[in-house]
Each structure stands twice: as C-alpha cells, then as structure tokens.
C-alpha cells in the first residue's frame, strides 16, 4: 500500500492521546496495511497509528518479522483487562526514538482485549515479548514513549541527544 513517515521524538504529535475507532471499515484496514508496510520498511516489530500522525487506537505488530517471516497482527481499541504483579525487564527500543535502547520494567503477563480487522472482539493472555510489545505500543495510544518510564535525568539526556542528531541530519 503506502509507506508513511514515522514521527520521531520530541515531535509533540507523539504526545497525543489516541481516540477510539468507532467502526472497523475499509479506511481502518487501509490504515493498518499502511502501518504494517511502514513498520516493515523501518525494520520494526510494532507500530501505533499515532507514530505515523494518526491519533487512532490502532496497533500493528509482528514479532516473527525478525526471523524473516511476515505475519502481522492488528489490535484495534486494545485494553488491558489484567496485569500480573510480577514484573519483567526487557531492553526496549522504538521507531519514534531511533538508536536509543534501555531497560524498562513492565508487568510480566497481561490479559487484553481488542478488535480484529473484522471488527470481532478478541481476548488474549500474553507474556514475554508479546506482553512487553503490546504494553509498549498501548503506551503510544496514551501519548507515552518508553523513555517516559526512565528517570527524568536519563530521559532529558536522551531527548537532547535525539534533538542534536535531528539537527545534524537537517543541516
């Protein structure tokens, strides 16, 4: 379909809280396909619609993509129904925060519900990378970046580094 540019921090549009999708229709399916194409082009494993400037509650994800397979999933209006008290720490990165990686602690297991591309309600239990990635992408829907989970000092340093890199590229 179409590869769309991915917004990078500190773009203020990344802080927008996304709105619920009212109806799963051809427009939403096209958005999801564009998101998948954009995610693959950027060599990512997950992307929220807000990262391409569309503040709608849509996520695409493909955890198998790193193995050379393409089997993406769409999560529309996702909600976490339950999260474990047990925490897990994974090194996270983000297409909107390029070249930055850091450890983030999140619930180890979650139960979530969402709509699929047919508008059907689906409920899943997730752990490991799926749980982490889903929580990471759902944060985007609330205007939260993974670096917002880091200390204020570390986040400020990383944003300064990003801004400097953007200026160097621009000019």
Secondary structure (3-state) at 154:
helix
DSSP alpha helix (H) spans, 7-81: 26-41
105 neighbors 112 (Cβ within 8 angstroms): no
Q: What number of H helices and E strands is found in the chain? A: 3, 7
Supply the residues annotated as catalytic.
Answer: 137
CA-closest candidate to residue 123, choices 110, 132, 142: 110
User: Rounded to an integer, what distance in angstroms lies between the CA atom of residue 26 and that of residue 63?
Assistant: 25
CA-closest candidate to residue 41, choices 67, 6, 84: 6
């Amino acid at each position: 379909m179409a590869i769309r540019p991915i917004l990078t921090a500190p773009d203020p549009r990344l802080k927008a809280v996304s709105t619920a999708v009212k109806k799963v229709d051809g427009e939403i399916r096209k958005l999801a396909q564009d998101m998948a194409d954009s995610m693959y082009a950027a060599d990512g494993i997950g992307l929220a619609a807000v990262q391409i400037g569309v503040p709608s509650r849509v996520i695409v994800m493909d955890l198998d993509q790193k193995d050379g397979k393409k089997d993406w999933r769409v999560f529309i209006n996702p909600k976490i129904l339950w999260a474990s008290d047990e925490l897990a720490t994974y090194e996270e990165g983000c297409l909107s925060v390029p070249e930055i990686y850091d450890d983030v602690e999140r619930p180890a297991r979650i139960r979530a519900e969402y709509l699929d591309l047919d508008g059907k309600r689906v409920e899943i239990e997730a752990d490991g990378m799926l749980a982490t990635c889903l929580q990471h992408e759902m944060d985007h829907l609330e205007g939260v970046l993974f670096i917002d989970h880091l200390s204020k000092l570390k986040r400020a340093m990383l944003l300064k580094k990003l801004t400097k890199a953007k200026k160097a590229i621009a000019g």
